[in-house]
Amino acid sequence: MKRRDFLKSVTAVAASGAVSAPAVFSPAKAQSRAETLLIVSESGPNNVDIHGVGTNVPGYEVSWNCYDRLISHEMKTVDGTAYYDRDKFKPELAEDMNVGDMSATFKLKKNATFHDGTPVTAKDVKWSLDRAVSVGGFPTFQMSAGSLTKPEQFVVVDDHTVRVDFLRKDRLTIPDLAVIVPCVMNSGLVQKHATEKDPWGLEYTKQNTAGSGAYRVASWTAGTEVVMERNDKWVGGPMPKVKRIVWRMVPSAGNRRALLERGDADISYDLPNKDFVELKGAGKLNIISTPYSNGIQYIGMNVKIPPFDNPKVRQAIAYALPYQKIMDAVLFGLAKPCFGAPAGKATEVAWPQAHGFNTDIAKAKALLAEAGFPNGFETTLSFDLGFAGVNEPLCVLTQESLAQIGIKVTINKIPGANWRTELNKKVLPLYTNVFSGWLDYPEYFFIWCYHGKNSIFNTMNYQSKEIDGYIDGAVTAAANGDKPAYEKDVKGFVDVAFADMPRVPLYQPYVNIATQKNISGYQYWFHRRLDYRALVKA
């Protein structure tokens, strides 16, 4: 079957409730099939530029595979799964890295080229890093988390050498250069498409890749399909085995499962947990489950919107949530609980960790009455429709549970392409979301989610000088190697967060991946998306 016919067959499957098409590839096309990886998921990218406004999580996957960074992480093995090593780094575009006391110098690989054949130079690196710290929003805040805030920090030494100057001692600076945001772009190409109103060429890179990475976007139909082809001149690492990635958006979980079970799809990672449990039991597919690093699913409350400005209301909700029902009926045990810590349990120097709240309707009602709402109130609970498989049943169970204490909840389903934008407006009164900190340190999570100063993911609008002091103290103590002060500050900000409860941790999610038996090379990364570069199809 020709590729266009194959794509038509998958489109037909996605549009119907039944799966009846024959095998996707004939034996005559076996070689082509072996070189092509078909991925199916619930939702896809809304932007292929990590620096774009409101780029969603699927967009991270495109950027990771199509762009290079100066450095990346080494790998290790955790419970049998290849897992990025938080503390060890390796060159990607750089061939050499020399870290000094207040700067790091990177020598670029002289044979590195962008997808159009243009050589990668230090000028491109500087322009790209300047862009990251200047465009605003998420990319700029991400860079600032590692004390990378000023274009003056990025210095072109010569055509193939760039220096990054440190503003201060910060143990997050080098790790922050290995995340998705500081990707290196073809500055000349992007600048050709820049305008006075769009000086960084964001409109162009929203739909076009301009990188040097292992893959390039060959075609993209938003909401339907992304096709990526291997860059055969890539020098950032070992040449990938898979030549072509076909990533299709198949909204129906039943259809995604059917495609996997028939062998028509190679990988899916957006199935209901019940399906993953059943598929693992059947034994015909590889099922890999890995806890999110530094991540939780939570219920967030906007503390600037009454009645969520009242701590007793927030605590009442924390007691009313149906934690175990969510674990059993939505997750089927594929998550780590973040609730129900035993009374008197000491706070850990770790994140995530469990809080002491558990489902207690009587206590929730009493707190709500103390807060002045004996008859409850009405509100809206929002979720990302792009991950409806978990979010929708979670919200339905929450709606039912809050009704028991008089809170009438209307569920608000926000399309995945709009979710990040709506969330960052900080106007949603009550919502569920996942946040996973790319740098696996407790203070990094809290910088993003709880700090009152320019915290883009502090979507609760939470302000606390006490918690800010603990977070800042932990950052300083870590930089200075002051372990006792660091441990004191981490325990301090966790205790304040669990007392004020602007967001209620529910559980630490697992990344669940289902693959055909002939697929190997899966790696868990901090961004939780697929790295195509290591995948192998027998």
Model pLDDT for residues 472-495, shown as the tens digit of each residue: 999 999 999 999 999 999 999 999
The model's pLDDT over 173-228, given as tens digits with 9 standing for 90+, comes to 999 999 999 999 999 999 999 999 999 999 999 999 999 999 999 999 999 999 99
* Domain ranges across the chain: 3-65+213-266+516-537, 83-190, 295-510
Neighbours of 272 (CB within 10 A): 21
32: nearest Cα among 44, 24, 40: 24
Neighbours of 105 (CB within 10 A): 17
Q: Is the bond into 307 cis (omega within 30 degrees of 0)?
A: yes
Residue 26 has pLDDT above 70, yes or no: no
Least confident range of 34-38, 397-401, 518-522: 34-38
How far is it, in rounded angstroms, from Cα 502 to Cα 379? 16
Output helix, strand, coil percentages for the chain, rounded to the nearest 5: 35, 25, 40
| CATH for 3-65+213-266+516-537, options being 3.90.1640.30, 3.30.1490.390, 3.40.190.10, 3.40.50.300 | 3.40.190.10
The residue with tokens 């998705």 is: 180
3-65+213-266+516-537 shares its CATH topology with 83-190: no
Q: What is the CA radius of gyration of the chain?
A: 24
Residue 24 has pLDDT above 90, yes or no: no
Q: Tell me what the mean pLDDT of segment 100-109 comes to.
A: 97
**What integer best gives the mean pLDDT of the chain?**
93
143: nearest Cα among 135, 133, 153, 155: 133
How far is it, in rounded angstroms, from Cα 19 to Cα 192? 46
pLDDT score for 270: 79
The model's pLDDT over 434-458, given as tens digits with 9 standing for 90+, comes to 999 999 999 999 999 999 986 789 9
143: nearest Cα among 188, 183, 185, 100: 183
The model's pLDDT over 59-89, given as tens digits with 9 standing for 90+, comes to 999 999 999 999 999 999 999 999 999 999 9
pLDDT score for 454: 65
DSSP 189-248: HHHHT--SS-TT-HHHHHH-----SSEEEEEEETTTEEEEEE-TT--SSSPPS--EEEEE
| CATH for 295-510, options being 3.10.105.10, 3.90.1300.10, 3.50.50.60, 3.40.50.10860 | 3.10.105.10
72 SS3 class: strand
Q: 83-190 is classed in which CATH architecture?
A: Alpha-Beta Complex (3.90)
Which residues have a Cβ under 8 Å from the Cβ of 453 and sit 6 or more positions away? 468
How far is it, in rounded angstroms, from Cα 161 to Cα 326? 52
The model's pLDDT over 119-164, given as tens digits with 9 standing for 90+, comes to 999 999 999 999 999 999 999 999 998 999 999 999 999 999 999 9
511: nearest Cα among 19, 17, 57: 57
- Tokens encoding 340: 């129900």
Residue 2 has pLDDT above 60, yes or no: no
